[in-house]
Chains A and B, each alone.
Chain A
Amino acid sequence: MSLKGKAAVSGIAELKPWKEAPPDVTPLKLMGQLMAEALADAGLEKQELDGFLVGMPFADPGMIYPASAAEVLGINPRMLNVVDIGGATPAGMVWRAAAAIDAGMCNAVLCIVADLNRLGDQRVPVVSVQREFEAPYGNIGANCGYAMIAQRHMYEYGTKPEQMAKVAVDQRTNALKNPLATFNDKPLTIQDVLNSRMIVDPLHIFEIVSPCSGGSAVIVASPELAKKSKNPPIWLLGAGEYSNHASITYAPSLTNSPIKPAADLAFRMAGVERKDIDLVCPYDCYTITVLVTLEDAGFCKKGQGGPFAMEHNLTYAGDFPCNTHGGQLSFGQPGLGGGMSHVTEAVRQLMGRGGERQVKDAAIAYVNGNGGIMSEQVSLILERRS
């Protein structure tokens, strides 16, 4: 069983995130705009959409969400689902869409996320186990877990703060060429990052995503419908998903993440090697997330993510282009749209729509979606066929 070449991303849409969304904006309003733009980009009519994968907006959650949202948007899907695997949701949508297409259940699947940053002080965990055994000790929100991953990574492998900072610095260089990025006005230096406010040791504020509002969408289409797009089809070559914990406390390891089995599966399905990859779009809620992803996805030896980041130029013009949109660290994290930004950027680059940050001759991209505290992992390999 393989999804290799069975479906392609044929259209994308993405909003520039707001730090503060206008008061009249709702997640469904954003989804309406995104759907229209993604359909136009894919060259499809609304009537041709027959699959609907949607992320649950934190700002407007509800039961039986997909049918309600589909009704508002005026679509009649043959498959409708909330995908609920945290930041891995968008990458997870792509292979689910391809699987539905491969199975003959759908021909064109809208994968869409939109959210508003209106949580305020409501960052309480929703799962009862977390309420009971994590929250009383102050393990609330994602910062703490990633800080403990970083601390353990430093202990096991000698990873240094400046090595983590390098990720934020190179990604900022990328963001300077991305008009959609939230932080695209001035460059960042390693010293800027290390001098920025310490939030949760050893992570500084410039190593932590900034929550914002916005959204994005992609359309995954059958080979036939992908031809209707003015864009070259961006084929799904390989996909892998894996999870082995929710709270990082109960993970088998803080530093060996479930990315490895997900990435290995994706590469095996795609039949390509790490060296064949032209750009990577790893989920980057924090700088440490990128180092662990590069290690576990096999781009460098375990524990060597820090030295790897220092030795390579991670910008669009460099020898190892990484998160050429700026990553979420500079793009912003509009809820699940943060995770989708890695998919849209990989697709944009492979379609040759990277503008000033276009990676030369980009043909194959690796994307990783990461949910929770390194919990849910989805690796994708996407290709533009020459």
Chain B
Amino acid sequence: MSDYVKPLPKPTATSRPFWDAAKRNELALQRCTSCNAFIYYPRDRCPHCMSDQLQWRPVSGRGKVYSYTVVRRASTRSFSDKPYVLAIVELEEGPRMTTNVEAPPEAVKVGMPVMVYFDDVTPERTLVKFKPA
């Protein structure tokens, strides 16, 4: 049994391909075959054009820090072990993701380029995080 105490994603039928890809160390997003938009988080229908014809595509994993904060006092006990960098990363393909940037807090800047990495937080679950590129 893992001693990991932080919340874990519970994949749904819609989102399972995303988490399965992460487990394979691959960042995959849905792409709408009708309007070509990349979509994050996973949806049943394109939030732009309502098409339900969405395809999973591997993406570059490159992005930029759109904004971030250093959480020095977390709202929940499970994140209170140490300060962490919570960030919004804007992917090269367009969508933004909530994630963590693994770097010393003072090294993180808005606009800095980052690259995806995969954090196997438990044997079953891999989170999609980023490091300075």
Contact = CB atoms under 8 A, between A and B. Distances in A.
Pair from one complex: yes
Given A133-B98, A137-B100, A147 B15 contact: no
A133 B41 contact: yes
A197 B73 CA distance: 9
B9 interface: yes
B63 to A, nearest CB: 13
Which residue, of B9, B66, B73, B98, has the highest number of chain A Cβ atoms within 10 A? B98
15 contacts: A124-B7, A131-B7, A132-B15, A132-B41, A133-B97, A133-B98, A137-B98, A138-B74, A144-B71, A147-B69, A197-B73, A249-B96, A249-B98, A254-B67, A254-B88
Contacts of A124: 7, 76
Contacts of B67: 148-149, 151-152, 155, 254
A140 interface: yes
Q: Contact size class for A? A: 35 or more
Given A202-B69, A249-B98, 14 more contacts: A124-B76, A131-B7, A136-B9, A137-B86, A138-B74, A138-B84, A138-B86, A140-B76, A148-B69, A148-B86, A148-B87, A151-B68, A152-B66, A249-B96
A201 interface: yes
Interface in B16-61: 41
A143 interface: yes
A138 B75 CA distance: 9
Contacts of A147: 69, 71
Contact of B70 (A123, A129, A149, A200): A200
B88 A138 contact: no
A199 interface: yes
B110 to A, nearest CB: 4
Contacts of B70: 200-201
Contacts of B99: 137
A20 interface: no
Nearest to A146: B69
Contacts of A135: 7
A200 B70 CA distance: 6
A201 B98 contact: no
Contacts of A248: 88
B86 to A, nearest CB: 5
A152 B72 CA distance: 18
B82 to A, nearest CB: 11
Contacts of B88: 148, 248-249, 254
A333 to B, nearest CB: 14
Contacts of A250: 41, 96
Interface residues of B, number: 37
A123 B73 CA distance: 14
Interface majority SS (helix, strand, loop, mixed), chain B = mixed
Interface string B88-109: 1000000011111000010000
A224 interface: no
Given A128-B12, A247-B98, A138 B41 contact: no
A134 B98 contact: yes
Interface centre among B6, B7, B87, B105 (most CB of A within 10 A): B7
Contact of B110 (A128, A133, A136, A151): A151
Q: Which of B67, B71, B87, B100 has the most CB of A within 10 A?
A: B67
Interface string A147-159: 1110110010000
Contacts of B7: 124, 131, 135-136, 140
A318 interface: no
A141 interface: yes
A200 B71 CA distance: 5
B76 A123 contact: yes
A141 B67 CA distance: 17
A131 B111 contact: no
A132 B97 CA distance: 12
A272 interface: no
A132 to B, nearest CB: 5
A72 interface: no
B127 interface: yes
Nearest to A202: B69
A5 B99 CA distance: 47
Interface in A355-382: none
A276 interface: no
Nearest to B77: A121
